[in-house]
């Protein structure tokens, strides 16, 4: 089992000092609302109906295709240099799995071997970056049942994605995750402790479909030299930079999912601003992952899934 004692949920008393340093925008601020593209409800209803019809037709082939993709998913080790990283965290490994999209094309029989491969990398922490499901909260059961194969010294953290909201029952998804041993940070924060040193992990609700409240997450965090933000959508980067976040981990874009050689990948979600890889705004570094699963069609082209192992390094 995970050593839960190492993760301390930050209390509001300790947060007072951190709050004093940052006047952060609230979720109703126009600047926050304007930062995230929103999909109209009518479009979502149409997408949900079309998706169910397509998935019913393509399920058997789709499952085989996605199984093949995920069996070959890369687990690259990527160094993340951070100034001020406490020495106890030099070499700290975060396995980052986003956009699993469990459902008709992806079930526990596909997740089990992937999670076993990730665990073999001996991560210190696993982060689930949102979009566990497609449009149905019960699809999260496939992930929850597989979490017993996913091991990390400091446990599993999760944040919601837009599709988790589209399910209409985010609470149920969070319950599934809790059952599997994962902690969801919904505009909240936690700290990982190594000896006398610690690093903060802040998690926000999805900016496009949920109630993004970085101010609340900030206020729940302890004072720390290093603050790592988990935000499903990378559109949060300018707001993260404003809040002096050191590192932001995002998914959402699937890296474009369908790409072509020599053509710039398109991510409609973020108006093309973020697709995959590293981005920077002021002192904030962002990593946008291509994710594990797929949406709409069970296909990826020139954009393989991955579950990167992010290795924190003390920058000199």
**Hey, is 124 helix, strand or coil?**
coil
Q: Which is nearer to Fe ion, 216 or 254 (CB)?
A: 254
CB of 254 to Fe ion, least distance (A): 6
CB of 29 to Fe ion, least distance (A): 26
From residue 37, give the alpha-carbon distance in Å to each of 134, 206, 273.
19, 11, 12
Q: Which is nearer to Fe ion, 131 or 205 (CB)?
A: 131
| Contacts (CB under 5 A) with Fe ion, residues 53-112 | 99
Q: Are 199 and 226 in contact (CB under 8 A)?
A: yes
CB of 101 to Fe ion, least distance (A): 6
Q: How far apart are CA 130 and CA 160, in angstroms?
A: 4
First vs last C-alpha separation in the chain: 35
- CA-wise closest residue to 297 among 69, 129, 89, 138: 69
- CA-wise closest residue to 253 among 228, 280, 238, 273: 273
User: DSSP labels for 141-182?
Assistant: HHHHHHGGG---TT-EEE---HHHHHTT-HHHHHHHHHHHTE
User: DSSP labels for 213-234?
Assistant: -HHHHHHTSPP-S-EEEE-SSG
CB of 8 to Fe ion, least distance (A): 30
Q: Which is nearer to Fe ion, 89 or 135 (CB)?
A: 135
Q: Which is nearer to Fe ion, 99 or 205 (CB)?
A: 99
Q: Which is nearer to Fe ion, 99 or 136 (CB)?
A: 99
Only one of the segments 32-40, 87-95, 130-138, 177-185 lies at the binding site for Fe ion (rule: CB under 5 A); that segment is 130-138
Token pair, residue 139, equals 């699809």
Q: Which is nearer to Fe ion, 188 or 206 (CB)?
A: 206
Only one of the segments 1-9, 87-95, 125-133, 214-222 lies at the binding site for Fe ion (rule: CB under 5 A); that segment is 125-133
The dihedral of CA 108, 110, 112, 115: what is its sign? negative
Q: Are 209 and 190 in contact (CB under 8 A)?
A: no
Among 15, 89, 128, 131, binds Fe ion (CB under 5 A): 131
- SS3 percent helix, strand, coil of the chain, rounded to 5, is 35, 20, 40
Q: Which is nearer to Fe ion, 131 or 139 (CB)?
A: 131
| Count of residues in contact with Fe ion, rule CB under 5 A | 2
Q: Which is nearer to Fe ion, 11 or 304 (CB)?
A: 304
Q: Are 48 and 135 in contact (CB under 8 A)?
A: yes
Positions touching Fe ion (CB under 5 A) are 99, 131
């Amino acid at each position: 089992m995970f050593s839960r004692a190492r993760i301390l949920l930050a209390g509001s008393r300790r947060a007072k000092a951190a709050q004093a340093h940052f006047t952060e925008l609230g979720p109703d601020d126009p600047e926050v609302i304007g930062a995230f593209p929103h999909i109209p409800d009518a479009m979502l209803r149409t997408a949900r109906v079309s998706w169910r019809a397509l998935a019913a037709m393509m399920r058997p082939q789709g499952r085989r295709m996605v199984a093949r993709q995920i069996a070959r998913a890369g687990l690259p080790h990527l160094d993340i240099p951070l100034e001020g990283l406490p020495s106890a965290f030099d070499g700290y490994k975060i396995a980052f799995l986003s956009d699993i999209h469990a459902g008709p094309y992806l079930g526990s029989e596909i997740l089990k071997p992937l999670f076993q491969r990730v665990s073999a990398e001996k991560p210190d922490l696993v982060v689930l970056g949102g979009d566990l499901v497609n449009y149905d909260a019960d699809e999260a059961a496939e992930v929850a049942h597989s979490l017993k194969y996913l091991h990390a010294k400091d446990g599993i953290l999760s944040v919601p994605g837009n599709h988790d909201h589209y399910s209409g029952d985010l609470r149920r998804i969070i319950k599934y995750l809790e059952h599997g041993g994962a902690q969801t940070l919904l505009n909240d924060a936690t700290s990982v402790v190594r000896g006398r040193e610690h690093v903060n992990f802040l998690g926000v609700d999805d900016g496009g479909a949920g109630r993004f409240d970085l101010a609340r997450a900030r206020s729940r965090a302890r004072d720390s030299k290093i603050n790592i933000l988990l935000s499903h959508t990378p559109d949060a980067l300018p707001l993260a930079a404003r809040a002096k976040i050191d590192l932001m981990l995002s998914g959402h874009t699937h890296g474009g999912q369908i790409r072509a050689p020599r053509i710039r990948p398109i991510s409609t979600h973020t108006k093309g601003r973020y697709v995959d890889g590293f981005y920077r705004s002021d002192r904030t570094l962002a990593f946008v992952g291509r994710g594990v699963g797929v949406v709409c069609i069970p296909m990826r082209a020139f954009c393989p899934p991955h579950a990167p192992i992010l290795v924190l390094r003390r920058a000199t």
